[in-house]
Structure 1
Amino acid sequence: MLANASLILAFLICSSLPIAATLIIAALILSFVYSPLPLFLAASEIFWKVSTEFTLTSVPLFVLLGEILLRSGIAERMYGAVALWLNRLPGGLLHANIGASTLFSATSGSSVATAATIGTVALPEVRRRGYNERLFLGSLAAGGTLGILIPPSIHLIIYGMITNTSVPKLYLAATVPGLIMAALFSLLIVVICLIKPSYGGERIEASWSQRFASLADLVPIILLFLVVIGSIYTGFATPTEAASLGLVFALGLVWWYGRLSLELLHECFTGAMKATAMIMLIVLASYFLNFVLSVIGLSQQLTSFIADLGLSPLQTMLVVIGFFVVLGCFLESLSMLVTITPLVAPIVVALGYDPVWFGVILTILLELALITPPVGINLYVVQAIRGRGSIQDVIAGSLVFVVSMFALIGLLFAFPEIALWLPARFAE
């Protein structure tokens, strides 16, 4: 049954169907073949129950928040300020791509929104200042992945809902690894540009007075982060309520800058509705597939299969990581999260690993899926914004950053406290 289910899913994915349709069709086929019960009759109840989850309400709010920051010009001002402060490092604007992605991730919760926003602002500079185009494109795609690791991450919210894990603790656990990931990206850029100085392009000349003046453009993003994340950490608001507070604060910022208009709101709401519809349909389809897999006993078969391998906990985790790396080449990160997590998370927890720690490891593996071909969505987002050339350039530039992701996974295995120290303090 396990092999047949894998073949069915693989065939549907290769048929280029939309991922939500793939998951629903796979669920229907498996239910008709392996269950005597009409499982499709439960679909409406599952869809209603999942779609009315209070925690999931934060997803469209964070998506809308990212749209507002992009279309109002706040993100562009932020990028300009970051560029002035990081231009002295070997690599210049390559570090601005990472730094701006880090800051934007701290308010948007979405990888696609982060890559699209920073890419839109940064790409005009790649030829103007003579940067190595492949590395520049790769820094945008890899920097965008920080959107699902650094709080407020939409993926962490969904992981918490699936595994019944505290979202505030997941946010605390992901904060330090997210910053380390950004630092590792920048360190990799420094090493590459020291070896190949021509890759670093022309630096932006700026005086210290210009740098300090630019700090005013960073204040809105920092304040927005404090409103959203601070309200969660202090216990003042749930993630959903914090998203609402952040949205109201962002609208206030847009009004302050004189950019608030009906046309802007229409663009933001339209973009947010499209993105939310895609996300929610994938989530609903995945929950229905998980229900079918559980009823026909496939989840139990997978658990028994891994247990029968007789591996140590560390060896089992390495198998799980390898499984996600391979699967990430063929599945979109969100669909992989909601489809595979209910199967794998109980196994990992039974091995003695902390579910909060595993949530961070899993999110890094999902980041990896965002920049690995042929399905890495950030690759296509950056290429779409670029609008010319071959996507092979984006792929080649992105793959070097995979080294940093594996390095962080290794650090988390060697020093789990990197992720668990803040949640432990928070619990106290």
Structure 2
Amino acid sequence: MTPEASGLVGIAALFVLLALRTPVAFAMLVVGFFGYWALEGLRSAGGVLLTESYSTISNYSLIVVPMFILLGNIASAAGFSRGLYNAAFAWIVQLRGGLASASVLGCALFAAVSGSSVATAVTLGKVALPEMRRLGYATSLSTGAIAAGGTLGFLIPPSTGFVLYAILAEQSIGRLFMAGVLPGILMMGLFMAAIWIVAWLKPEAAPMGDPPDWPTRLSALFEALPLVAVILLSIGGIYLGVFTPVEASAVGAALVILLAVARRRLTWCGFRDAIAETLSTSAMLYFIVMGASVLNPFLAVTQIPSALGDGLAAAGLGPYGTLLLIVLGYVVLGMFMDGLSMLVVTVPIVLPTILAQGFDPIWFGVVAVIVIEMGMITPPIGLNVFVVRSVAGPDVPLTAIFRGVMPFLAAMIVTLLLIVAVPGIATWIPNSMFD
């Protein structure tokens, strides 16, 4: 069997294992190890398993994963997420669809703490959905806003998606974090515009709330300011060159813990649960990275990435035609796979083609993350949709949530088109920092 044929068999076996609900990390480990064994022998496969796994897990840059996860878990346990939402609510509730817009803004702010789409959707869903239900918001709009707003956790730094992409593509985590800032703000603004359009077309879907008085607004802003300051200090420190991403993650986590203790918001049980959740999530992500580190050498030996690049080049599609084909492939995969699985499986295969077409790998990281975000609210999987439904309750049909995310899906497509048309949206900040 030729290396290319072995590679195709390995990829098919990987998708079969994923379809059988095998954890993605172990699926990649199994395919990578046995595939390399079949092509290079047991001794070489054992060497790859040991050396690649150790070198990847001992990567100093990976420390940002548990630190930022801890930051988000402590903020959630201390109830700071409600403070972010209350501040957003107090200042924009008087706008058309203001409560849904406040939910999106709250998601964006919490995304800058947690770095996780699922955590953002769950945390803000528990806070915002009861309020929107109380004011008579349409179920589709309220749940759609939370499901879509949660995806900002995968784009706005710190993002676990960017960390994984940086390791897989051997790129700077700091550059990728900074590359996500303007696209994240742009997408948040387009989400709010989508809410305004829905509320304008169907006023009954988003009743306008009574604006609170100025003392209430200032009080809500004062309540949220300390956590916002931690966010600005962490991300701003990276931008100004004061911190590396690893140092920023540790500083942010330490400050949030001190803030929670100073405000007497953190109980021992809450702290213990936050640590346990951090360990569990970090272990999962570390295993995924380890699985990818074993799978990648197998794919390299099979020459599948180079064969894919040669095939696309021979097709004569040009750079943007090739990009369109890859994006469509991501969209299709996103209907059946979760975001992290898509990222670790596809990046080693498609990145050589992207580089051969002359695209910036940092820019493509933003494009890939946005397309993966689209998959998180696209049927039939739509992970964030199922997460929001679990928070909203069994009386909320999935069809209503999927119907509610459609305007936000359109906003994501517009964001993607703008970033393709104007690459500087993603590259201007990192290029101004590091060049």
TM-score by length of 1: 0.94
Which residue of structure 2 aligns with residue 69 of structure 1?
Answer: 75
Which residue of structure 2 aligns with residue 288 of structure 1?
Answer: 294
Structure 2 counterpart of 1:297, from 285, 303, 318: 303
Cα distance change, pair 19–161 in 1 and its aligned pair in 2 (3 A): closer
Does the Cα contact within 8 Å between 1:231 and 1:237 map onto a contact in 2? yes
Which residue of structure 2 aligns with residue 415 of structure 1?
Answer: 422
Q: Deviations over 1:379-405 (max 9, x none)?
A: 222122223133333222223311111
Does the Cα contact within 8 Å between 2:147 and 2:384 map onto a contact in 1? yes
Q: Deviations over 1:133-183 (max 9, x none)?
A: 122111111101111111122221222222232222222222111101000
How far has the Cα of 1:226 moved from its partner?
1.9
How far has the Cα of 1:212 moved from its partner?
2.2
Which residue of structure 2 aligns with residue 427 of structure 1?
Answer: 434
Which residue of structure 2 aligns with residue 360 of structure 1?
Answer: 366
Moved more, 200-209 or 266-275: 200-209
Does the Cα contact within 8 Å between 1:13 and 1:330 map onto a contact in 2? no
Does the Cα contact within 8 Å between 1:112 and 1:144 map onto a contact in 2? yes
2: CA distance between counterparts of 1:20 and 1:198?
Answer: 46
**1:392 has 2:408 as partner:** no
Q: Deviations over 1:299-341 (max 9, x none)?
A: 2222222222221111111111111111111222112212211
2: CA distance between counterparts of 1:190 and 1:36?
Answer: 60
Cα distance change, pair 48–93 in 1 and its aligned pair in 2 (3 A): same
Letter in 1 for 2:421: A
Which residue of structure 2 aligns with residue 273 of structure 1?
Answer: 279
1: CA distance between counterparts of 2:276 and 2:429?
Answer: 37
1: CA distance between counterparts of 2:407 and 2:30?
Answer: 36
Letter in 2 for 1:27: G
Cα distance change, pair 204–221 in 1 and its aligned pair in 2 (3 A): farther
How far has the Cα of 1:365 moved from its partner?
1.1
Which residue of structure 2 aligns with residue 24 of structure 1?
Answer: 29
Gaps of 5+ in 2: none
Which residue of structure 1 aligns with residue 136 of structure 2?
Answer: 130
Which residue of structure 2 aligns with residue 14 of structure 1?
Answer: 19
Cα distance change, pair 399–8 in 1 and its aligned pair in 2 (3 A): farther
Local SS of the residue matching 2:343: helix
The 5 Å alignment of 1:71-110 reads 71-110=77-116
Which residue of structure 2 aligns with residue 344 of structure 1?
Answer: 350
How far has the Cα of 1:257 moved from its partner?
1.1
Does the Cα contact within 8 Å between 1:287 and 1:339 map onto a contact in 2? no
Cα distance change, pair 164–9 in 1 and its aligned pair in 2 (3 A): closer
**1:144 has 2:183 as partner:** no
Cα distance change, pair 19–400 in 1 and its aligned pair in 2 (3 A): farther
**1:325 has 2:359 as partner:** no
Q: Deviations over 1:268-315 (max 9, x none)?
A: 111112222222222221221122111232222222222222211111
The 5 Å alignment of 1:115-126 reads 115-126=121-132
How many residue pairs get matched?
428
Letter in 1 for 2:246: T
Which residue of structure 1 aligns with residue 200 of structure 2?
Answer: 194
2: CA distance between counterparts of 1:298 and 1:112?
Answer: 32
**1:174 has 2:180 as partner:** yes
Local SS of the residue matching 1:218: helix
The 5 Å alignment of 1:223-302 reads 223-302=229-308
Q: Deviations over 1:331-360 (max 9, x none)?
A: 221122122112212211221111221121
Does the Cα contact within 8 Å between 2:34 and 2:45 map onto a contact in 1? no
Does the Cα contact within 8 Å between 1:132 and 1:201 map onto a contact in 2? no
How far has the Cα of 1:35 moved from its partner?
4.8
Which residue of structure 1 aligns with residue 386 of structure 2?
Answer: 380
Does the Cα contact within 8 Å between 2:53 and 2:294 map onto a contact in 1? yes
